[in-house]
Amino acid sequence: MNNKEKFLSFCDDLGKYMNDNHPDICFYGYGSCFNFNNESPNDLDGGLICPDIITDKKEILEISGKINSLIKKNEILYQQMNFNLIDTFSGKDGRFLSYHKGYTTNIKKCGKVLSGPNYLNGLNGIDNKCGDLESIAFNFRIIRRDLLISNSTFHEGELIKRFRGACHLLKVFPRAIKCFKILSTNKEDKYSIRSLELSNKSKEGFIKELKKTSKVDLSIFDELNSFENLQFNRMDYFAFGKLFGRIVETYEGLIKEYIENNPPKKVMVETLI
């Protein structure tokens, strides 16, 4: 089979599984595999859209295992999988969605729902995000994607590397969200405001400050340093996956809390010049 036949076979298999086991999740595809007369696309673009920003980690890990078996069955390389994990809540808000407006417009127009509800029309990409917001949205996509395909693709060393990367992204999140708050609530002299308020505070200082105000369970922050030397055996994947899921869930909870406490304003997506 050529690439397109392999990809479409994978999508058909996964779509049937999702319809039978996870019917409330939107499984979608887009790109050359679906919209162009290209018999040998290089990759498979698509992903899942969940109905809640706090995704069901047990469900995601089960899907990850199914993706793993279908990748092997259809002889696809994990490098060919351009899959993302999104939710309707942050997707509608748009600020923490890593897709820009043109991208979501194209997905709405040309994307194909392969199983579940059509959540594509609820995605609202935003252009010209400030640098800190752009970073948070990108990191959010990365750690969710890595959880989704964690049981599908990686050898032990690669999985540990990505897990430690997720730990690092969570550590820097409190500072990044503080930068974004400052940038999004001051129209003038944004660079100097950020410099004055943030220059002398460590990552630990921002975490401590966040713990005083957030209602999210932040206990994972007390364990992050101990994960530096964590060892992993593929046989322990589900225990490891649960730990990875806690990191993702903390990130999701903090973003949900931010969206609920800070309705969108135009100034939040102004380009810094």
What would the pLDDT profile of 167-211 be if each residue is shown by its tens digit?
888 888 887 777 766 666 554 434 333 444 555 567 788 888 889
What is the structure's pLDDT at 15? 97
What is the structure's pLDDT at 185? 59
Give mean pLDDT, residues 1-6: 88
- The pTM of this model reads 0.87
Task: Please tell me which residue, 140 or 226, carries the higher pLDDT value.
Answer: 140
What is the structure's pLDDT at 167? 87
Distance CA 86, CA 248 (A): 12
* Three-class HEC string of the chain: CCHHHHHHHHHHHHHHHHHHHCCCCEEEEECHHHHCCCCCCCCEEEEEEECCCCCCHHHHHHHHHHHHHHHHHCCCCHHHEEEEEEEHHHHHHCCCCCCCHHHHHHHHHHCEEEECCCCHHHCCCCCCCCHHHHHHHHHHHHHHHHHHCCCCCCCHHHHHHHHHHHHHHHHHHHHHHHHHHHHHHCCCCHHHHHHHHHCCCCHHHHHHHHHHHCCCCCHHHHCHHHHHHCCCCHHHHHHHHHHHHHHHHHHHHHHHHHHHHCCCCHHHHCCCC
What is the structure's pLDDT at 190? 42
What is the structure's pLDDT at 154? 55
How would residue 162 be classed by pLDDT, with cut points 50, 70 and 90? Answer: confident
- Is the pLDDT confidence value at 77 over 70? yes
How would residue 163 be classed by pLDDT, with cut points 50, 70 and 90? Answer: confident
What is the structure's pLDDT at 54? 97
What is the structure's pLDDT at 272? 34
> How much of the chain exceeds pLDDT 90, in percent?
47
- Is the pLDDT confidence value at 213 over 70? yes
How does pLDDT run across 226-260, given as a tens digit for each residue?
A: 877 766 665 566 777 888 899 999 999 999 999 99
What is the structure's pLDDT at 42? 85
Give mean pLDDT, residues 135-159: 82
What is the structure's pLDDT at 236? 66
What is the structure's pLDDT at 26? 98
- Is the pLDDT confidence value at 155 over 90? no
Mean pLDDT in the chain? 83
